[in-house]
Structure 1
Amino acid sequence: MSDILSTLQEASWRDIPFPIANISESGTQDAPLHKRADRDGAFVEGTGRAPFVYKVTGVFVASTIARGKNETWDDLFPATFLRVRDAWMDRTTGTLNHPLYGPVRCKPASWDVSLNPDNRGGVFVDLSFIETNDDAETPAFTPSERSFAKSTAADLDAQLGTLNPPPSVFAPQDGEQSFSELVDSLTAVVDSTTLQGQRAIAKIDSGIGKLQRLANSIDRAASVVVTDATTGTTTNLGPLGAGAARIWQNCQNLAVALREIRSKILTSSNKDVSTFITERPTMLVGLSIQLKTTVAELLELNPTLPRARPVIPAYTLVKYYPRS
């Protein structure tokens, strides 16, 4: 049986190496629920991954354990123990070197140690670290914004589809004939080229104008007509009435989402994009640190990168924002 663990990297915190008994990783996805009255279930919005939490058991026992072939630690107790303790007390961002993933930018979260008379050579310490992103930058079009814009546009299109007469919103010469098509056309324009960014801005401005005209002209007296998908039977539910408020609110919500996307595309279009070719299979987290960027930014700029198994093959062209 092969000993894969013996080939892994040495664990360290702020470049202070120490042996570990185990290291665990836990993560969650933020998934708020959007519920509606008199409707079963809910729309689950994927707003992004929460930061990973790493729990480590450090072994600081003098002269009783041997170093692995990739380990360089020495003088574990009390010297290395006190150095790690001092480094953990620094509340700023530091680098946790994960044996499998490599360097991960983290904040120290918890420290738990006790002197045990049954262990005369030193101590075992339980530490935890929380992954952090300190560059304060977000992609031009985040999954949260995309999900919100798409769901609002779909809801608005469905509402407009029940009106008789239907409101005149899109002209025949428009490239898109619904708000859903408008939002879908924007999802491909993420940090691509300046020309595409300018076209996206024009589409967004046109869409916001359409939303404003629709909100101002919605006819409360329009009839609401629904069609049974199975039989094709249509039923007139009467005047739109108070339902106009829902359409008006969706117009406002979608306009706000489009303005947010517009602002971020403008910010992104002012950045230079560089390229990098991987020389060997590389972990996504390690590459983000090497390029001084973030995993989210790499995935937004390179949508074809593997997500389920975050190892980038050798000789892969990767786009990223250069930072000094």
Structure 2
Amino acid sequence: MARNTPIASERKPAYGGAEKSYFKRLAGQWDIQLMVVPALLLIIVFQYIPMYGVLLGFQDYSLFKGFLDSPWVGLKHFEAFFNDPDFNRVIRNTIVISFLKFFIGFPAPIILALMLNEVSKLAFKRVIQTVSYLPHFMSWVIVAGMVSSMLSTDNGSINMLLQQLNLIDEPISFLSLPEYFWSILVVTDVWKSIGFGSIIYLAAIAGVNPQMYEAAAIDGASKFKMTYLITIPSIMPVIIIFMILAIGNLLSAGFEDILLLANAGIREVSDVIDVYVYRIGIENQRFSYATAIGLFKAIISVALLTIANFAARKSGNSLW
């Protein structure tokens, strides 16, 4: 006897789709949705509520008068920043340091992850991972102290090594010379972040289908060919997403590292937007001026993020 099966239009959706409203389905997942609440509160309290503070950039803010009574001055502080004699220097340093960190620091974790993926000895691989992850958990105060000690002219290990190799006759004060600062800053930043940054890429590599490597090995492909023909294309969506985020943060050239490693004598090459805002805006209590500069940086960052996302969309991988 033939079974009477309902046609597709009469079948009930497996999840109950059209029969349940959005809010009913949300109520049915209350336990799962409840887990999102702390993250939402964190974002609202520390990200959205402080946005009210951008109003300072359009006021001559006074601590005694507050938001409501401080006079509005329009774009006065933005014009003051653009006309500041330090503007060109600050923007130049920010762009140069950001691009150096991007072009050197961004591919570094990817290269490390690809290299670790080829390590067959599990014990050795774990040691390398632990050693490379460790700097991430050290504060910039500790890292800056280590770098200053190593580059010191008074028994600094770098100067002692160079003298032993007869490369220099007298110790060099690396941190006091502008020509060395960018190199020291970028190398230190890469050393601190490369290990922890490789975790995401190692996880992405672990998700690559191993049958692809087996098929490539049968065809006689070398490890190098497997890397650039299989591994890199497979993790490319992850690389593109992180590249978009990195481009959006291009104007964030650094704050703690520069503040701790630089001194007043090399301000010509060390002043970036974040440090300049702290030094001029916060230390001198020019809160409105500092807010205007911060808002200018945020607008440019959003524009860069949007452009990068639009360009990445053509590859089929984008944030939105």
Query: Shorter-chain TM-score category?
Result: under 0.3
| TM-score, normalised relative to structure 2 | 0.26
In terms of fraction of residues, the more helix-rich structure is 2
Higher-RCO chain (CA-CA 8 Å, sequence separation at least 6): 2
